[in-house]
Amino acid sequence: MERAAIYHISEHNYAYAVDGDTLAVRLRAKKNDLERVVVHYKNLYDHTSRPKELSMEKILSDGISDLFEARIIVKEKRFKYYFELFSPGERIFYTSDGFLESVDEKNCFFYPYINDDDIFRPPSWAEGEIIYQIFVDRFYDGDPSNNPPGTIPFGTPPGRESYYGGDLEGVILKLDYVAGLGAKIIYLNPIFLSNSYHKYDIVDYYSIDGTFGKAEDLARLVEAAHERGMKVVLDGVFNHCSSSNPLFMDVLERQSESKYRDWFCIKRFPIDASGKNYDTFAGLVPGMPRLNTCNPEVIRYITDVVLHWTKLFKLDGWRLDVADEVSHSLWINLRRELKALSPDILLIGEIWNHSSRWLQGREMDTATNYKFMRALHEFVAGKIEAHSFWERVSANKMLYRSCLYNYLVNLVGSHDTTRCRTILGSDELHVLAMAVNLAFEGMPLIYYGDEVCMEGGFDPDNRRAMKWEDVNSDCARRIGELSRFRAGSIVLKKGSITPIEVGRRILAFCREFEGERIYFVANFDGRECVLEGPWRDAQVKLGEGSLEDGRLTLESGRYVLLGYK
């Protein structure tokens, strides 16, 4: 037994409350080192009875480690526990005092009490639902009267200052299209007053940008979305603002005498608009001065902005930009006040790397899962094989609580990446990548145009105007039928996922919920494959495979969903 590889702490993602009397406990060990793990547990103040025993399940395995998990129930909400480990020829107890041959109660791990705010409760309505991301200026021009000077036609290549005239009215007019894809959530890139087309440099947090419409248009959009059973999420840009924002302009004018001097990350005075002596977005963009989100006045200001719009229009959530650079103090306060308004408000953090610090139940409900995107792109491009893909996915999942797996925002691309279709090089591979995401656990995000195989290179080319002429194309049909299938499938939205390894260039997995199973198989190989797996008695639900006597025949570049009546 490799004792140095065994790990548990009685906090964070290794011991967390599931509900009022249930604690999830985890133990990590060297891959394939332990034959069995048993957790012994009872009430913290029970000093007489024998502990209960529960075998732990191996839930994840990467190239290095296995992760075991069990859910233990103590109605008094107070826990003490230890682990019994079995490997070939060896049995040992693992405790808060390390490895022991015998255990006394004082050696146990303690989880003293489950308080109500220990329980992570992301909004149940959002679990597994499809997010449709709309870059408003590039989506649809519903009201040409608000177009800024120099607006260019759809189909024209974008520049860094290009406007296409997309607006809130255009989103309203295309709501039925988005709903027809099965999307539950519309996520709008920033819509507040700004001097840029992208609106990530806010001049006034209390005004809708006039090129997109008026506050009344946002009200109509939210109402129309709600009538269709859809939710609306806005983009909150609170790490930085525009250098033209009156708050920062006051500092430029009054320098150290400004009452907002501590609202920004000023290194020293004097400052000017060139970026001299103050921090900015990425430390590189003078026009986007960084807000001091540790300042209680800034925390109050931003919280009030979010509460204002959320209350006014009954918003359903916020995607929070550069969430990992903003102070925890701001997010904790914002979550507390928003959840007091409605516990069903969804908070999504834009985080490109490990997100577990922000997913402990006090800040975000979920985060963007770019780790999934990178692993999928590398597999599709042939840089890694299926086995390595699953190891990468599992290693990332080990960082998060099991209850979050169906909430992680999985994506194949966004407004900050080269388009998936361009990276992968063909409609066929793009459709397969989209299919994997739409059948996977998590909340799949569709970046506008990905459903019609839109191309686009590095920013700003990845923000081309929507190609409405392609919405009836073959690839759009194939992606749309799977997105609609997902929208109606509780198994794909809420089910667990189990990898099935049947080939180096085949991605296959089983989704299961309450005893119902759906199998997904995608053939990335360059040839037709005949595969045997656990789907012997299943039937083709969707896709282009054929099943005969338990043998699945799948052409190159095709996927299939298999299930039961």
Active site residues: 321, 350
Q: Is the peptide bond before 270 cis (omega within 30 degrees of 0)?
A: yes
CB count within 10 Å of CB 98 equals 11
CB count within 10 Å of CB 210 equals 11
Q: CA 266 → CA 83, 240, 256, 263, 470, distances in Å?
A: 51, 13, 10, 9, 49
Residue 97 makes CB contacts below 8 A (sequence gap 6+) with 107
Q: Nearest 5°: CA angle at 47, between 41 and 52?
A: 25
Cα(465)–Cα(278) distance, integer angstroms:
35
Q: What is the DSSP letter of 278?
A: B
| Helix, strand, or coil (residue 383) | coil
Rounded to a whole number of angstroms, the distance between the first and last alpha carbons of the chain is 45
The alpha carbon dihedral of 192, 196, 201, 204 has a sign of negative
Q: What is the largest CA-CA distance in the chain?
A: 81
Q: How far is CA 16 from the centre of its chain?
A: 20
Q: Nearest 5°: CA angle at 517, between 513 and 520?
A: 120
Token look-up 């529960």 returns 54
Cα(76)–Cα(262) distance, integer angstroms:
47
Say if residues 181 and 187 touch (Cβ distance below 8 Å).
Answer: no
Cα(441)–Cα(403) distance, integer angstroms:
11
Q: How far is CA 188 from the centre of its chain?
A: 15
Residue 431 makes CB contacts below 8 A (sequence gap 6+) with 453, 475, 478, 479
Beta bridge partners of 27: 68
